[in-house]
A = this chain, B = another copy of it.
Amino acid sequence: MRVGLLTGGGDVPGLNAAIRAVVKRGEGEHGHSIVGFRNGWRGVVDGDVQPLTRGHIRNVLSVGGTLLGTARYHPHSSDGGLDAVMATLEAERIEALICIGGDGTLHAASKVAEAGVKIVAIPKTIDNDVWGTDRSIGFDSAVSIATEAVDRIHTTAESHNRVMIVEVMGRTAGWIAVTAGIAGGAELVLAPEDPFDIEKVVRFLKHRHRAHASFSIVVVAEGAVPAEGTAMHYETQVGKFGEIVAGAIGERLKAEIEARTGFDTRVTVLGHTQRGGVPTPTDRILGSRFGVAAIDAITRGESNVMTALRGEEVVLVPLSEVAGKVKHVPASLLDVARALA
């Protein structure tokens, strides 16, 4: 078989592990030819292909990013995009396509699948908000980086009477904020799943600083919002590519806290460092398992499914069940973050 492979959306650590696994298993055991498309769906539309053999995947397991490149482009959103996809797949004689991506890429994949292409998807996003799987590739690495940052800010915060705000990514979900907040021992975690009341936040900080502490660390998700009917009015700020504007909620929160408490308050916006660097072992293993499962599924003739982690096993779920849904942080985990503040 000739099998296409693309990575779409923002890059994350662990993508290369998945690519490597598809090639090793696909070429080495099943005898398939693996064809890579460069820069996500863009490369399918443009016919920008590269062969992927064992020689191309040497020494990539521990390298972040994606050797195929990626882009935030969706063929169904532009005129003739889907036609160009079909034309390229036919010209390249691609019998099935593996799409590694997050929300946007998976949505595009479901559109392309509707047009008759056999697709197996692999979920990746540092935001961990893909429905149907315990984990997506990249999340563990992002949490590792965010926790390290909170650890660092801890040692420096302890010497000064300050409120330190750390703003992390996550889109409309609070996965990175909640997990890095718990792991880093933050005093307060603000996540989209639990809109905050600025007056309660301020009361907590005042109480804490009056009581005994000389500092507080607040981890805030970029998508965190105030609860309706509370004292602070704010709407999530969105950039030209639909992404949440880095630093917006962090800076606004700093202004509110300083105005209401007088405490010296500093913001650190982790930004792009969260999606770079050496993947954690967990992300390499997840990428490897998903890659093997995807090419095995294609070999068995399955299509329009997504690989998913459920407990200790990798399973397949219908793509149609996944697309368009957001997986939020469960109440039990929000509760642990609150309990340990």
Residues in A lying within 8 Å of B, measured CB to CB: 10-11, 13, 20-21, 24-25, 28-29, 39, 59, 61-66, 69-71, 134, 140, 143-145, 147-149, 151-160, 164, 179-180, 182-185, 214, 266-269, 271-273, 275-278, 280-282, 284-285, 288-289, 292, 310-314, 330, 332-333, 335-336, 339-340
Provide the bound-state CA to CA distance between A273 and B267, in Å: 11
Q: Which residues of B contact A62 (CB under 8 A)?
A: 151, 154, 184-185
Q: Which residues of B contact A151 (CB under 8 A)?
A: 62, 276-277
Q: How far is the CB of A131 from chain B (nearest CB, A)?
A: 12
A272 touches B266 (CB 8 A): yes
A-B pairs with beta carbons under 8 Å apart, 29 shown = A10-B156, A11-B155, A20-B340, A21-B340, A24-B339, A25-B340, A61-B185, A62-B184, A64-B152, A64-B155, A64-B156, A69-B214, A71-B159, A71-B160, A134-B311, A152-B275, A154-B276, A157-B272, A180-B281, A183-B281, A183-B282, A266-B271, A266-B272, A268-B273, A288-B336, A288-B340, A310-B311, A313-B330, A313-B332
A183 touches B332 (CB 8 A): no
Q: How far is the CB of A55 from chain B (nearest CB, A)?
A: 10
Provide the bound-state CA to CA distance between A100 and B9, in Å: 42
Given that A164-B272, A276-B154, A339-B21 are contacting pairs, would A159 and B281 also be in contact in the complex, using a CB cutoff of 8 Å?
no
Task: Report the nearest B residue to A60, measured CB to CB.
Answer: B185
Q: Which residues of B contact A281 (CB under 8 A)?
A: 143-144, 147, 179-180, 183-184
Task: Report the nearest B residue to A66, measured CB to CB.
Answer: B159
Task: Report the nearest B residue to A63, measured CB to CB.
Answer: B155
Q: Which residues of B contact A282 (CB under 8 A)?
A: 140, 143, 183, 282
Q: Which residues of B contact A29 (CB under 8 A)?
A: 339
A280 touches B11 (CB 8 A): no
Given that A24-B339, A25-B339, A340-B24 are contacting pairs, would A275 and B156 also be in contact in the complex, using a CB cutoff of 8 Å?
yes
Q: Which residues of B contact A145 (CB under 8 A)?
A: 152
Provide the bound-state CA to CA distance between A272 and B217, in Å: 12
Given B185, B273, B292, which contacts A336 in the complex, CB threshold below 8 Å? B292
Given B61, B147, B182, B285, which contacts A288 in the complex, CB threshold below 8 Å? B182
Provide the bound-state CA to CA distance between A268 and B246, in Å: 10
Provide the bound-state CA to CA distance between A143 and B280, in Å: 10
A312 touches B273 (CB 8 A): no
Given that A183-B284, A340-B25 are contacting pairs, would A65 and B156 also be in contact in the complex, using a CB cutoff of 8 Å?
yes
Task: Report the nearest B residue to A330, measured CB to CB.
Answer: B312
Max chain B C-beta neighbours (<10 A), residue from A20, A64, A164: A64
